[in-house]
Amino acid sequence: MAFVALTSPFLGGIADFSGKRKRLLFVYTILCVLSVASFSFLQKGMIFEGFILILLANIGLEGGLVFYNSFLPEITVREYQGRVSAWGYAIGYAGSILSLLIALPLIKRGLYNETWIMVSIFFAAFSLPAFLFLPSDKSTDLTLVSSAKHGSRYLWNTFKDIWKQKELRRFLIGFLIYEDGVNTIIIFSSIFAATTIGFNPKELIGLYMIVQVTALSGAFAMARPIDLWGPKKVVIVSLLLWSSVSLLSFFIYVKVYFWIVAIVAGLGLGTVQAASRAFFAQFIPSGHESAYFGVYSLVGKSSAVAGPLVFGGLSYAFGSQRPAILAVSAFFIIGLVIIRGVKGGGPNIERG
């Protein structure tokens, strides 16, 4: 994850200069697909090999998302960026639900190697529409080596340009903070549910499914409001939902109530991801999509640092995860306050 975070802006600069954005997306996708398929060859005790394959799979997935996200301003007009962003996330959650439903029968029968093959084929198959229908690469006279040299200088200029833009700088700081809270909840939610609330493995799978279904629903439900109300308002609403997740989790001792919290978390998850991407897209000048989304990826991937440290430290200090889950709400509240002060993120379309 750290490798992807540090290289994302650089790769974005190369893509903008070389015009080979779609080709790079293809390379990273193939890396992920082949790495996941290779999991099927792992044997007991092959820890190092497994670690390398996990690393390569994550580099392929997260690196590819930099180029994938950068197509958003190009494939739709500004008036529809919010809903297209939301539809993309919603369909992604539908895919995660479908893949899990296909994988569960294989897992129950102990066919773990076949499961990895299925996942890699699933990923490859549903990547095809992107390669078939996304805009073609732009032809340039620059080689990848020349693009890398230009991209390095361009990257530094991009960082300087972003830092000079007060509102964009403020948005990224707010995004860094509240995304840290979101990632912390995602990382520790199953641990909290199992050790503090008492969920068993079967119930945890059901909990995961509930979050995916409600995230899908939230993304679809807020698709039009992101454009009509503006992504800023939708981000604020979603952060209020996330704050309530942390606060309510502190008081919950009964499983049935935690299911309700999972529904709220899912709604907030699908909404905040789609709205944040649409919000950021409003700041991007034409022709700089890959580099800017590279920085966006850098910030997003760097956001799971303080939250886990706070959660782990408080859990250890108090001997309970309840104070830790409560403290995470501070990330959402601080992020909300910062985002409220950002000028921008208004409606993409006029009311009418």
Least confident segment among 105-109, 114-118, 176-180, 284-288: 284-288
* Residue 150 domain flag: no
Give residue 286's domain range: 2-131+166-340
pLDDT for 12 equals: 67
Q: How many structural domains compose the chain? A: 1
Whole-model pTM: value is: 0.83
- Strand locations in 187-247, DSSP E? none
* Residue 208 domain flag: yes
State phi, psi for 77 to the nearest 5 degrees: -75, 165
Residue 9's pLDDT band (boundaries 50, 70, 90)? low
* Residue 30 domain flag: yes
Least confident segment among 25-29, 148-152, 198-202: 148-152
* Residue 212 domain flag: yes
Question: Residue 329: which CATH number?
Answer: 1.20.1250.20
* Residue 160 domain flag: no
pLDDT for 288 equals: 78
SS3 annotation, the chain? CHHHHHHHHHHHHHHHHHCCHHHHHHHHHHHHHHHHHHHHHCCCCCHHHHHHHHHHHHHHHHHHHHHHHHCHHHHCCHHHHHHHHHHHHHHHHHHHHHHHHHHHHHHHCCCHHHHHHHHHHHHHHHHHHHHHHCCCCCCCCCCHHHHHHHHHHHHHHHHHHHHHCHHHHHHHHHHHHHHHHHHHHHHHHHHHHHHHHCCCHHHHHHHHHHHHHHHHHHHHHCHHHHHHHCHHHHHHHHHHHHHHHHHHHHHCCCHHHHHHHHHHHHHHHHHHHHHHHHHHHCCCCCCCHHHHHHHHHHHHHCCCCHHHHHHHHHHHHHCCCHHHHHHCHHHHHHHHHHHHCCCCCCCCCCCC
pLDDT for 141 equals: 64
Q: Is the pLDDT of residue 146 over 70?
A: no
Least confident segment among 150-159, 189-198, 285-294, 316-325: 150-159
Least confident segment among 131-140, 187-196, 275-284, 319-328: 131-140
* Residue 272 domain flag: yes
* pLDDT greater at residue 14 or residue 30: 30
* Residue 143 domain flag: no
pLDDT for 65 equals: 87
Residue 91's pLDDT band (boundaries 50, 70, 90)? very high
Express each pLDDT in 265-323 by its tens digit: 999 998 999 999 999 999 988 777 877 887 888 888 777 788 999 999 999 999 999 99
pLDDT for 287 equals: 75
Q: Is the pLDDT of residue 130 over 60?
A: yes
Q: Is the pLDDT of residue 338 over 60?
A: yes
* Residue 349 domain flag: no
pLDDT for 18 equals: 65
Asked if residue 94 lies in contact with residue 307, where contact means CB atoms within 8 angstroms, the answer is: no
Which of 252, 18, 47, 337 lies closest to 151, judged by CA? Answer: 18
pLDDT for 256 equals: 93
Express each pLDDT in 210-264 by its tens digit: 999 999 999 989 888 999 999 999 999 999 999 999 999 999 999 999 999 999 9
Express each pLDDT in 23-52 by its tens digit: 889 999 999 999 999 999 999 889 999 999
pLDDT for 150 equals: 64
pLDDT for 215 equals: 92
